[in-house]
Structure 1
Amino acid sequence: MDLFNAAFLIALLKIIWVNILLSGDNAVVIALASRNLPQGQQKKAIVFGSGAAILLRIVLTLFAVQLLQLPWLKLIGAVLLLWIGVQLLADSDDDADVHASGNLWTAVRTILIADLVMSLDNVIAVAAAANSAPEPLRLPLLIIGLGLSIPLIIFGSTLLLKLMERFPAIITLGAALLGFVAGEMATTDMAVHEWFETHMHGMDYAVSISCAIFVVMVGLALARRGKREAT
């Protein structure tokens, strides 16, 4: 098996480029989920979360086309992503009493769930890029290409964590991004996409923006209530 023929290398470059374009929101999730951990555990959460998320994405990619044909799947994922965005924003980062293993694995679990939900669209692009290579090369191509995206996500998450410490408003923007992505997922679900195209054509962005506002408003309200109860 020649892993270095032209078709393989071209497809590999496509997958790497797709991951560069699509890994930003995943880096946001990882940074948000691990921001309350001590510095040493932040690095572990980023490494474990990113690695496990990539493995999960490889498995999901293999079944992506079939999965996305199931109605209601993306709607369910959108609701789950809204909940994750609200919880990440509502979680107080000022007085968190962090205990090593429990909170570390809670952060990793949040990263995995969010990445699974947000990867439903991303994996379609990766699978399409891999399909340009000969069939025997597609599986190793996916593993190598997605594996190479791990440093990209880790670097992006680490950079965002440092920026969040200096500019807390980034946390709110990150949660809003999750809400926006949830809105995009909801309007493209097989069960409602045709109805949106027929009756609410052009309203996709309005739904996404509304979801972003919803996450920010509910998340901030829960965060304020949590601070009042703590005092």
Structure 2
Amino acid sequence: MDFVTSFADPLIWGKLFQIIALNIVLSGDNAVVIALACRALAPEQRNKGIALGAGVAVLLRVVFTVAIASLLNTPFLHIIGAGLLVWIAVKLIVEDGESDEDSITASSKLWKAVQTVAIADIVMSLDNVLAIAAVAKDSIPLLVLGLLISIPLIVLGASLITTLLTRFPILVWAGAALLGWVAGEMFDSDPWLIERFGAATLEHLHYPAAILGALLVVGLGYMLKSRQPDPAT
């Protein structure tokens, strides 16, 4: 009841707006992942996949913000996360254009897409949960409400990006490179590396690490893609 009556306070509305705006900004990468994972789904399942992916993204954002913020300073966590992001990005490149409808049912492909979104969002949420938690403070209902309101906006962004990926397949490589860039940034921010080499040193390596991450994804993706058998033969 206290939470309901507190909506008469303009400060609550201000915090709610901040959470929604912050989540939209921080969910740009989520929209890219959702679009990349759902682009190969059948048209009748694509909207369902995008909606499920967006729901998973927001739900995981809530869970991480509430429960896992204290783990952000755990050594090696960012390094492991960076490795997972590189794996996801390369996998998206390698699987681009594959047509395995005969061997994989539509339902399993949908689940596979949502699973990819979930894994990526678990990793990518590590760096932005603190920002949302700082606005919500101790008001979990306010946090959940703000993130739930953001779902349609994330769906809209993912739908637009999916349309672009379908029309311009080269953007799949650009999206994967973006994930590699994020992986490089995440690697460079690991607490163990900061303690070992110093924050100042790693700050100078921020962009080189991000560029190296993007190049690593594109290079590995190209190498593995070129080794795939030609379906025409």
- Structure 1 unaligned regions, length at least 5: none
Cα offset for 1:221? 2.1
Deviations 1:64-85 (A, max 9, x none): 4311021111111110011000
Q: 2:58 aligned with 1:54, yes or no?
A: yes
Aligned position for 1:108 = 114
Cα offset for 1:169? 1.6
Cα offset for 1:178? 0.3
Aligned position for 1:27 = 31
Aligned position for 2:223 = 221
Percent sequence identity over aligned pairs? 46
* Distance verdict in 2 for CA 1:214–1:230, change over 3 Å: farther
- Structure 2 unaligned regions, length at least 5: none
* Distance verdict in 2 for CA 1:95–1:158, change over 3 Å: same
Amino acid at match of 1:78: A
Cα offset for 1:207? 0.6
Cα offset for 1:34? 0.9
Aligned position for 1:154 = 155
Structure 1, 39-48 or 175-184: larger mean CA deviation: 39-48
TM-score between the two structures when normalised by the length of structure 1 = 0.92
Aligned residues: 226
TM-score between the two structures when normalised by the length of structure 2 = 0.91
Aligned position for 1:179 = 180
Cα offset for 1:198? 4.7
CA distance in 1, matches of 2:202, 2:127: 22
Q: How does 1:56-71 map to 2 (within 5 A)?
A: 56-71=60-75
Alignment check: 8 A CA contact 1:90 1:221 kept: no
Aligned position for 2:105 = 99
CA distance in 2, matches of 1:13, 1:19: 10
Cα offset for 1:227? 4.2
Alignment check: 8 A CA contact 2:188 2:202 kept: no
Alignment check: 8 A CA contact 1:28 1:157 kept: yes
Cα offset for 1:53? 2.1
Alignment check: 8 A CA contact 1:54 1:147 kept: yes
CA distance in 2, matches of 1:84, 1:94: 16
* Distance verdict in 2 for CA 1:75–1:27, change over 3 Å: same
Query: Aligned match of 1:120 in 120, 123, 126?
Result: 126
* Distance verdict in 2 for CA 1:189–1:3, change over 3 Å: same
CA distance in 1, matches of 2:130, 2:82: 17
Query: Aligned match of 2:48 in 44, 52, 67?
Result: 44
Cα offset for 1:153? 1.1
Amino acid at match of 1:167: F
Alignment check: 8 A CA contact 1:92 1:223 kept: no
* Distance verdict in 2 for CA 1:165–1:227, change over 3 Å: farther
Alignment check: 8 A CA contact 1:53 1:112 kept: yes
Alignment check: 8 A CA contact 2:36 2:175 kept: yes
Deviations 1:45-91 (A, max 9, x none): 11111112211211110124311021111111110011000001111
Amino acid at match of 2:157: G
CA distance in 1, matches of 2:60, 2:69: 15
CA distance in 2, matches of 1:14, 1:229: 50
